[in-house]
A and B are shown apart, each in its own frame.
Chain A
Amino acid sequence: MDGINRKERAGRIERSGVNRRQFGTLLAAGALVAGSGWPLPASAAPPVLRVRIGSDIGNLDPARIFQIENQTVATQIFNGLVKYDEATNAIVPDLATGWEISGDGTVYSFALRGGVTWHKGFGPFTSDDVKFSFERVLDPQTGSSYSGQLASIKSIETPSPDRVVITLKEPNSGFLHKVSAFNQGWIVSRKALGEIGDKAFALNPVGTGPFVFQNWAPGREVKLSANKDYFAGAPKVEEVQFRVIKDETAAAIALENGEVDIFFGLQQPEVIQRLKGGGLVTVLDRDANHTINLVLNTSIKPLGDVRVRQAIYHAINRKALIDGFFKGTKTEASGFLTSSFQEFTDQVPLFPYDPAKAKALLKEAGVGSFSLDLVAPGANPYDKIVVPIASDLAAVGIDAKIKVLERGAYLQARNKGTVPTCVTGVVGAPDPDSPILSLFAKSSFPPGLNTAHYEGIEDLIAAARQAQGDAARKEVYGKIQAKVMGDVPVIPLYADHLFIAHTKKVSGFVQNSLFTMSAYPVSLLEA
């Protein structure tokens, strides 16, 4: 810069491409373009329903399906013999119009709906497809994770195209839950699978449901189109787009901007509060079908002593966890089942927050201070809720050490069954048999989900299967809940609560407790 005065420099700037006046004009033009909005485009007609999902899909084959996003997409495509009523969780007809159960509770005969056709021209739906679907899940070669769910099936007969008869090895009063429209209950087309092939079918599914799979753009979206020939009548929207939006804050802004219509998988307390407070969208909530539990391994000292387990239960301030950490977006649980189960009872032993009692119980058990690993998967919120729990336990003299493991490592550690505790939830349909069998049956000892190594209810599990009729079932399941909650192999930390938000354009939406959503009843109002 030596020897150059201001005037010369100004001259040079004048000579360079853009002078000050031109620069000013450019700025003004820029501001004009920006100010005029380049406005966010309005949604396109014909009516397209855009749903936010938090993670990409990967597999829509009912025999191998996993992850809530896959299940949410699949539920639009497939039907089961029966299904859960979205609002009440009652079991209602789906592909079966009615069913008869033999007196001894082992033979289920389903009358099937006529005139149902498969998507993409794969012909009529028949009883043979039902037989094929369930046998496929049971075939070890399929490697289905749900083969255990259908294990009570002895044989499947198809006396006519519109009738299927399933014989069970022994009575199972919860069998309708197993063939309900979820996971292993979804019916696939024998013809379509034969032609498309197992591998390709996973991302080119053929069902009988209200929406037909169109395409999947990895990391971006899944497109489904309306099935005009759907047996219950065509859907009210032409197309459903499931758009992958990971970040909840971004998804909330997209919802408020009208870039998406339904916010599925709304979980963060801050985002829920923000959407509720904004008043721009509708926020729905209801109890989910699962609790999140702290599993205590009863085969490890000193957790083998029931008084120690009860002491831990008394020591955890669960209300503070719900009010403070979750800002009231979860609900308190008295047991491992939620009130959304028809067999739910709150007549169970309760262990309210009482650190003094916890200390007394530990003293009574003759246990001095000991250290305990709290094992949690490295996923929000599980990796964070263990922090207040550890501090609660420290207050009664238990040296709790937090061990957060990445999901893969966590599953491996839990399935080995050597972890002293772990935070876990069993997500699924409102079928009491599934969580009870998974968490507390001897047959589910590690590598199964019974990480507690609990075996106090074998006889009651058998009795529950024999029980015919709602009242008898409710009684046995009531006994199971009371017995388990007294023995404390798990501590229910909270009952999950589901939130879904949608714009004011969305009408007819019904929130279910399954952690999925149905686009079928939804219509879009003109903005």
Chain B
Amino acid sequence: MDRLLRQLSQLAITVFGIVTVTFFLVRMIPGDPAQYMLGDYATEEALATLRAQLGLDQPVYVQYGLYVLRAVTGDFGSSVVTGRPALEEILFSLPDSAILAFAGLAVAVVIGIPLGILTAERQGSWSDMLIMIVALFGISFPVFWLGLASVLLFSQELKWFPALGASSGGGLLTHLHHLVLPAGVLGISVAAYITRLTRSAMLEVLGQDCIRVARAMGVPERRVVWRLALKNALVPILAIVGVTFAWSLGSAILIEVVFSRPGIGSMILKAVSARDYQLVQAGVLVLAVAVVLVNSLLDLAYGLVDPRLSTR
């Protein structure tokens, strides 16, 4: 219970810090939301009216105070472009982002962890070298390049999958059909990262005394690697998955742009260029909560994997 409370208070402090930093950072970008909305023909009166309506005529610290007061009651303001509640707009695009991030992560875990174990097991062999080189390429190639290349190959040439990463209707199968390429590309780029880190974690564990003892006692190698070593390496691997979740959310922005897939990433990007302050803040808040929550869940999972950690 204490542990849960501590986790929750850490979560609250982290989110508050992130939102505050975002609030001031966004306002440091030059440019006027009113000007953006009203465009080239706007008169000074029209601009002043809109600024007053948006509360932008107040000093920044007053805006901040009002923002925090409202946020506590769950009111994160309205998008200056569409006039709709900012949090509502962000939450509307949350499922798209979450599906992509989790599908990508699933692909990455399914590919990355077994490959990482395999390479650790066969350290120095040609297959280890080959996989590590491929993984290096996977990390080095920009996600958007992989995305465009996969669209050209699988969509344009082979016509197996649609070029667009989201469908506007149809059943589950149609949605899955549209999801394959974006999730695959995101998964592969993250898998390379997971492979390398899993390999290091496994190598470290495989070098430990307990493994030598197990081997000396004649425990079958498969059991040594997949049960003993993997169990010990699972904590760092889980930590890697937590880190890569945040990282894959970042990559998801590029995926969303290349595959024209709606999501929080592309929405925040658009909101930044439109100086849509409320939408940027709501978006960053939701992302921050997602990352912190996933990491907190993983923290709790460490305890299950390794009981020593839960008593710390």
Chain A interface (Cβ within 8 Å of chain B)?
1-2, 4, 8, 12, 15-16, 34, 37-41, 44, 50, 55-56, 58-59, 64, 66-67, 140-141, 143-149, 199-200, 202-203, 217-221, 241, 243-247, 249-251, 253-254, 256-257, 259, 405-409, 411-412, 415, 426, 438, 447, 449
Contact = CB atoms under 8 A, between A and B. Distances in A.
Contacts of A249: 148, 151
A145 B42 contact: yes
A40 B258 contact: no
A407 B270 CA distance: 12
A217 B166 CA distance: 12
Interface stretch (B17-25, B28-36, B230-238): B28-36
Minimum-distance CB pairs A-B, first 5:
A408-B31, A219-B262, A409-B30, A145-B38, A58-B81
Interface string B143-166: 000001001100110011111101
A412 B51 CA distance: 14
A407 B123 CA distance: 52
A144 B266 CA distance: 28
B40 A140 contact: no
A145 B162 contact: no
A50 B274 CA distance: 26
B93 interface: yes
B207 interface: no
A1 B221 CA distance: 8
B167 to A, nearest CB: 9
Given A203-B82, A407-B273, A66 B37 contact: yes
Interface string B257-293: 1111011001100100111000000000000000000
B270 A254 contact: no
B10 to A, nearest CB: 32
B83 interface: yes
Interface in B73-109: 78, 81-84, 89, 92-93, 96
Contacts of A144: 46
Contacts of B156: 253, 256-257
A220 B49 contact: no
A338 to B, nearest CB: 17
B180 to A, nearest CB: 9
12 contacts: A41-B170, A56-B270, A140-B46, A148-B41, A200-B83, A203-B83, A217-B92, A218-B89, A245-B164, A246-B266, A250-B259, A409-B29
B49 A140 contact: yes
A244 B260 contact: yes
A38 B177 contact: yes
B310 interface: no
Contacts of B49: 140-141, 143
Contact of B38 (A143, A219, A246): A143
Contacts of B258: 247, 250
Contacts of B92: 217-218
B31 A4 contact: no
B3 interface: no
B164 A243 contact: yes
B263 A250 contact: no
Nearest to B29: A408
A259 B162 contact: yes
A357 B33 CA distance: 44
Interface in B36-62: 36-47, 49-50, 53
Interface in B114-169: 121-123, 148, 151-152, 155-156, 159-164, 166, 168-169
A438 B81 contact: no
B71 to A, nearest CB: 21
Contacts of A145: 38-39, 41-43, 46
A254 B164 contact: yes
Given A15-B222, A250-B259, A408-B275, A41 B32 contact: no
A408 B30 contact: yes
Contacts of B152: 253
A182 to B, nearest CB: 12
Nearest to B174: A41
A37 B78 CA distance: 45
Nearest to A15: B222
Given A147-B43, A202-B82, A219 B93 contact: yes
A259 B164 contact: yes
Contacts of A56: 270
Nearest to B176: A38
Nearest to A426: B40
A397 to B, nearest CB: 32
A370 B37 CA distance: 37
Contacts of A147: 43, 45-46
A250 B257 CA distance: 10
A257 B35 CA distance: 39
B160 A34 contact: yes
A324 B222 CA distance: 63
Contacts of A220: 166, 168, 262
Interface string B207-221: 000000001000011
A241 B168 CA distance: 9
B39 to A, nearest CB: 4
Contacts of A243: 164, 168, 260
Contacts of B273: 406-408
A288 B57 CA distance: 38
A218 B93 contact: yes
A143 B50 contact: yes
